């Protein structure tokens, strides 16, 4: 498996271990992780700290050029908010662990010229399936249902 998706999965597992939602993300520039994060809505009481948003936060201020040259890896298909940040910062490629348990805004991303790679990684699928089965109320709160 790709070392960057492995890093995103590690982030998702951290989130789960902290009592949160197991979604992780890393932002990679020139083959180096510049930002990593995991969903911290529960831990921080934040409505916006999804995995991708946390990775952007932890990447800090970067030049527009750096973001345009970066790839974001995320264990789950990005929601509308996270997709908006990906578009805003000009990320040109998104590697998605899985979209089986949740289909985010992939059509929107593609419509903006962003290339999408979906791995359907079994570890990512299992993390989310187990979480959704054991904590459906928390999952539904996170995705706004």
Summary count for the chain: helices (H), strands (E): 8, 5
Q: Is 52 a catalytic residue?
A: yes
User: What is the b/e burial string over 23-36, where b = at least 16 CB atoms within 10 angstroms of the residue's CB?
Assistant: bbbbbbbeeebbbb
Pick the catalytic residue from 11, 52, 98, 105.
52
Work out whether strand 115-118 and strand 32-38 pair parallel, antiparallel, or are unpaired: unpaired
Give the single-character DSSP code of 84.
H
List active site positions.
52
């Amino acid at each position: 498996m790709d070392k960057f998706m492995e890093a995103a999965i590690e982030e998702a597992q951290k989130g789960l271990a902290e009592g949160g939602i197991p979604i992780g993300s890393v932002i990679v520039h020139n083959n180096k992780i510049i930002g990593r994060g995991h969903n911290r809505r529960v831990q921080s009481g934040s409505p916006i700290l999804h995995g991708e948003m946390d990775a952007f936060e932890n990447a800090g201020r970067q030049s527009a050029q750096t973001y345009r040259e970066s790839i974001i890896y995320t264990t789950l298909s990005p929601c509308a908010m996270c997709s908006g940040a990906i578009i805003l910062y000009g990320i040109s490629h998104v590697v998605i662990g899985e979209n089986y348990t949740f289909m985010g805004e992939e059509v929107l991303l593609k419509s903006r010229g962003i290339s999408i790679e979906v791995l359907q990684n079994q570890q990512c699928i299992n993390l989310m399936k187990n979480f959704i089965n054991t904590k459906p109320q928390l999952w539904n709160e996170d995705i706004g249902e």
